Amino acid sequence: MNAPGWQASRAKRLQVALIAGVLYPLLEMLRWTLTWRVGGQAFLDDALADEVPPIIGFWHGRILPGMCFFRRRGIVVITSQNFDGEWIARVIRRFGYGTARGSSSRNAAGALRELIRQVRRGQGAAFTLDGPRGPARVAKGGAVWLAGATGSRILPFHAEATRAWTTRSWDRTLIPKPFSTVCLAFAEPLSVPRDLDGEGIEEYCRILEVRLAGAETAAAAMAAGARP
């Protein structure tokens, strides 16, 4: 496989190292200030007790709280092979995550095969269900396909915070403010049969959207109740 084009530029390689080197300690300091509340604890415990580890599913805009909460569990995620994907991979590895490199446009099949290998070795996986580019809150089929291929259940969750910044990006990324409370609401894990066709995968994507909508309502209510 050819190396990504950005690797040919020494300046780009230095930028990657600089971004990762600065961002990780900042995020780690933020994490230390956060307080956590969990709703749907029984769903989380049930999924973690499975013989096959779960696939954790969430919307792209909730990457940051999810990354902080599930750190040091050996969970594997897909990260792209471009410039942004490289510094993201370096940061999340320091939070204890594994990476399978690929995206919807480059080495997607290879990344999914790597995820299957890791899950079968006992590692959990995590998926941003609306993908790297959206549209927001519309589940794509990758997590459903992986669940059918491995026997893992999908554990959906949503996060809100008592105080946070929200970016203007397509996914409305949530960045909890220091010393805020982050409220995570877990929904019922979803079992997926093997060998689904395209129509079947779409059906299970819609089920995930419904469960995540419920988790979002629950997380928002928890955050509203936790505000002083």
Alpha helices in 103-197 (DSSP H): 108-120, 142-150
Q: Averaged over 76-88, what is the pLDDT?
A: 86
Q: Supply 39's token pair.
A: 């709703």
- Residues 165, 167, 168, 173, CA torsion sign: negative
The pLDDT of 54-72, averaged and rounded, is 96
Q: What is the mean pLDDT of the chain?
A: 91
CATH number of the 5-226 domain: 3.40.1130
pLDDT of residue 95: 96
Task: Say yes or no to pLDDT of 8 above 90.
Answer: no
Amino acid at position 141, single letter: G
d(CA 21, CA 19): 5
- For residue 185, give both structure tokens: 């609401």
Smallest Cα–Cα separation from 179: which of 66, 29, 63, 41?
29
84 pLDDT tier (thresholds 50, 70, 90): confident
Instruction: State the average pLDDT over residues 67-72.
Output: 96
Closest of 164, 105, 151, 153 to residue 127, by C-alpha: 153
pLDDT for residue 1: 47
pLDDT confidence of residue 85: 83
Mean pLDDT, residues 79-103? 87
The count of residues in the chain is: 228
Alpha-carbon gap, residue 25 to 224, rounded angstroms: 29
Q: How confident is the model at residue 81 (pLDDT cuts 50, 70, 90)?
A: confident
Over range 100-115, report the average pLDDT: 72
Share of the chain above pLDDT 90, in %: 75
pTM above 0.85, yes or no: yes
Q: Is the pLDDT of residue 28 over 50?
A: yes
